[in-house]
Amino acid sequence: MSSILIKGGTVVNADRSFGADVLSQDGKIVAVGENLTAPAGATVVDALGQYVIPGGIDPHTHMQLPFMGTTTMDDFFTGTAAGMAGGTTTIIDFVIPNPQQNIMEAYQTWRGWAEKAASDYSFHVAVTWWDDSVRRDMGTLVQNEGVNSFKHFMAYKNAIMCDDETLVNSFKRCMELGAMPTVHAENGELVFLLQRQIAEMGITGPEGHPLSRPTGVEGEAANRAIAIADVLNVPIYVVHVSCIEAAEAIARARARGQRVYGEVLAGHLVVDDSVYRHPDFATAAAHVMSPPFRPKGNQEFLWRGLQSGNLHTTATDHCTFCAAQKAAGKDDFSKIPNGCGGVEERMAVIWDAGVNTGRLTPSEFVAVTSANTARLFNIYPQKGSVSVGADADLVVWDPAGTKTLSAKTQHSKGDFNIFEGRTVRGIPSHTISQGELVLVQGDLRAVQGKGRYIKRAPFSSNFAANKLRAETMAPSAVKR
Ligand code: URQ
Ligand code: ZN
Ligand code: ZN
């Protein structure tokens, strides 16, 4: 394994930034300090005038996802390679069992697919149905496989949508195991009814998609999931918060002391619903994802959520379908495969629209692109920190570097870019993954299969044990 000395940069962690050199050896950070000397044979990277930040973590991707009758364009190699081109060195993807499918079988399938990953990866596991075997297998996944988060889709009726029985039982099980429940918060019954109503009005084009998923559909589900979590006294993480109603639901709950966390997609921060009114079907359909891009005004509210600390992480929901795949919905918008890309562009878009505008400090940028995800999913400081002992997942960030984002130059195998034509200032000049240089001034050196599966320990299960103890010690339980 190689040694790399990053000289002359400004280290930026979520808590502070300071001038220091960074030395990595055998895939770990071994020194952070001033005037470090390079051991024999080390590669030296000149970081003068640049920042040295923890590798980005994207907590929401779908590589090689079979969905809506097709499979996403990016697999675990091309998707993680694209991520590293943009400074993301770890993804948390999703195992999504079919209803009634054994979740251990689904987990093994996804583990097989991910072996070709070029960067480190981990998995949330979706609970799409419920019986005692699911309850049992959730325990196996936590205790033996390093899974500490379980996803619940409240949308996608007649497919992977959870009913309240599944939500309630699975949230309770998460509590017992010390795992984080997460939700896709859209009321799938409302979507199903609105899709049919809109079709009956003769609307078949992509403009029907946002009409069938208004912000109230997301607000209702976010409030319901938060209320269930509150009654069961379990933390909850809401993925791809896209609108004011959902962000307010989180802020209200947090103001009452409830442990609720929110994730925002780079796309939802800068793209609005005007894209669905584009006359070209392929362009409008390329933006069909759920929750949809929202009317102007929602974006600024999401930025305020990140600034206020009521929203915590940023992600992409990278789930790429090409024009031919999106054309499945040519005559019926509800058949357009839902998903967009972004894994390569996330960090530059958030730096350009966040730090360059003064919305975020560099440390807050690190928090929302890496450290907060590491903390919430219990892999901090192995990930999400430039500190001795952490994995040598590092980005040398050039605040003066510029790039125009385009499908023509992206590394994703998708054929569309929702940030097409956006020129950003602030890009990675070097990405280091597991102590190896994988990006050097635009030259991507991703290696298929190099990525590792990252286990994530459960949160303190003492809490569950203590609660149990309290119940058994309650006066009524004490024998006279
Ligand atoms: O809902 C999700 O997160 C997956 C199925 C990706 N597609 C999407 O439209 N967000
Ligand atoms: Zn989703
Ligand atoms: Zn998703």
96 in a structural domain:
yes
Residue 473: per-residue pLDDT: 61
| Predicted confidence (pLDDT) per residue in 136-183, tens digit | 999 999 999 999 999 999 999 999 999 999 999 999 999 999 999 999
What DSSP line would sit under 387-399, residue for residue? STTSB--EEEEEE
User: From the first residue on, what is the mean pLDDT of each consecutive set of 10 residues in the chain (480 residues)?
Assistant: 94 98 98 97 98 99 97 98 99 98 98 98 98 98 97 98 97 97 98 98 98 98 98 98 99 98 99 98 98 98 98 99 98 98 99 98 99 98 98 98 98 98 99 98 98 94 52 56
349 in a structural domain:
yes
186 in a structural domain:
yes
Who contacts 224 (Cβ-Cβ below 8 Å, separation ≥6)? 154, 185, 187
Cα separation, 7 vs 394, whole angstroms: 13
Residue 204: per-residue pLDDT: 98
Please tell me whether residue 453 adopts helix, strand or coil conformation.
strand
Residue 465: per-residue pLDDT: 46
127 in a structural domain:
yes
User: 304-318 in b/e burial notation, b at 16+ Cβ within 10 A?
Assistant: ebbbeebbbbbbbbb
CB 314 within 8 A of CB 264: yes
Closest CA to 265 of 239, 246, 287: 239
* Residue 476 CB burial class (10 angstroms; 0-12, 13-18, ≥19): exposed
Cα separation, 26 vs 29, whole angstroms: 8
Residue to probe by mutation, ligand 1, list 162, 338, 340, 343, most atoms within 8 Å of CB: 338
3 in a structural domain:
no
Query: Which residue's CA is the closest to the ligand 1 atom numbered 9?
Result: 289
What does the block give as tokens for 320? Answer: 């790429």
Minimum-distance ligand to the CA of 94?
A: 3
Ligand 1 residue neighbourhood (C-beta within 6 Å): 62, 67, 184, 289-290, 317, 319, 338-339
Q: Which domain holds residue 180?
A: 55-376
Query: Which residue's CA is the closest to the ligand 1 atom numbered 3?
Result: 317
Q: Which phi and psi angles does 156 have, rounded to 5°?
A: 70, 55
Ligand 1 midpoint to CA 317 (Å): 7
Ligand 3 midpoint to CA 61 (Å): 6
Q: Domains in the chain: how many in total?
A: 1
Query: Which residue's CA is the closest to the ligand 1 atom numbered 10?
Result: 290
CB 114 within 8 A of CB 373: no
If you ran DSSP here, which 8-state letter would residue 55 be given?
A: P
Closest CA to 57 of 381, 472, 465: 381
Within 10 A of 278 (CB to CB), how many other CB atoms are there? 15
What does the block give as tokens for 452? Answer: 């590792």
206 in a structural domain:
yes
Ligand 2 midpoint to CA 317 (Å): 7
Residue 460: per-residue pLDDT: 75
Residue 480: per-residue pLDDT: 42
- Residue recorded with tokens 């800068």: 270
What number of CA atoms fall less than 13 Å from residue 200's CA on the CB side?
6
Cα separation, 316 vs 264, whole angstroms: 8
133 in a structural domain:
yes
| Predicted confidence (pLDDT) per residue in 306-361, tens digit | 999 999 999 999 999 999 999 999 999 999 999 999 999 999 999 999 999 999 99
Residue 471: per-residue pLDDT: 61
If you ran DSSP here, which 8-state letter would residue 455 be given?
A: P
CATH number of the domain that 217 lies in? 3.20.20.140
211 in a structural domain:
yes
